[in-house]
Amino acid sequence: MLMKSNQHPFVEGIMEAELPKGFKVPAFMLYDGSTDPIDHINYFNSVMMVYGRSDMASCRFFAASLKGAATYWFSHLRPRSISGFAKLSRAFVTRFQSSIRQKKTVANLLAIKQRKDEYICDFISRFNRESLDIPDMDDSVAFNALQSGITDIELIKSLILNKAHNMTALISQCHQFASMAEIIAAQNEVSGM
Local structure of residue 20 (DSSP, 8 states): P
The whole domain housing 123 covers 106-191
Q: How many domains does the chain have?
A: 2
pLDDT of residue 175: 92
Q: Which of 52, 74, 101 is the last residue of a domain?
A: 101
Identity (one letter) of the amino acid at 111? A
Share of the chain above pLDDT 90, in %: 50
* Same domain, yes or no: 16 and 33: yes
* Same domain, yes or no: 86 and 142: no
Distance in Å from the first CA to the final CA of the chain = 72
* Same domain, yes or no: 76 and 112: no
The stretches of 11-105 forming alpha helices (DSSP H) are 37-50, 55-61, 69-75, 85-95
Burial class of residue 21 (count of CB atoms within 10 Å of its CB; 0-12, 13-18, 19+): exposed
Q: In this structure, is the dihedral angle defined by the CA atoms of residues 99, 146, 182 and 172, taken in order, positive or negative?
A: positive
* Same domain, yes or no: 83 and 120: no
Q: Which of 72, 101, 130 is the last residue of a domain?
A: 101
* Same domain, yes or no: 14 and 84: yes
Q: Which tops the pLDDT comparison, 101 or 111?
A: 111
* Same domain, yes or no: 74 and 58: yes
Identity (one letter) of the amino acid at 92? F
pLDDT of residue 19: 60
pLDDT of residue 4: 46
Determine contact, residues 60/15, Cβ cutoff 8 Å: yes
pTM higher than the cut 0.85? no
pLDDT above 70 (res 18)? no
* Same domain, yes or no: 114 and 160: yes
Determine contact, residues 143/167, Cβ cutoff 8 Å: yes
Which residues lie below 8 Å from residue 63, measured CB to CB, with a gap of 6+? 71, 74, 75
* Same domain, yes or no: 110 and 96: no
Q: Which of 101, 136, 157 is the last residue of a domain?
A: 101
Which CATH number is 133's domain given?
1.10.1200
pLDDT of residue 136: 80
What pLDDT, in 10s, does the model give residues 43-82? 999 998 876 667 888 888 899 999 999 999 999 998 888 8
* Same domain, yes or no: 116 and 166: yes
Q: Using alpha carbons, list the distances in angstroms from residue 152 to 21, 125, 130, 146.
A: 61, 16, 20, 12
Helix axis angle, 85-95 to 37-50, nearest 10°: 150
* Same domain, yes or no: 16 and 96: yes
* Same domain, yes or no: 89 and 160: no
Please provide the average confidence, as pLDDT, over all residues in the chain. 85
* Same domain, yes or no: 68 and 118: no
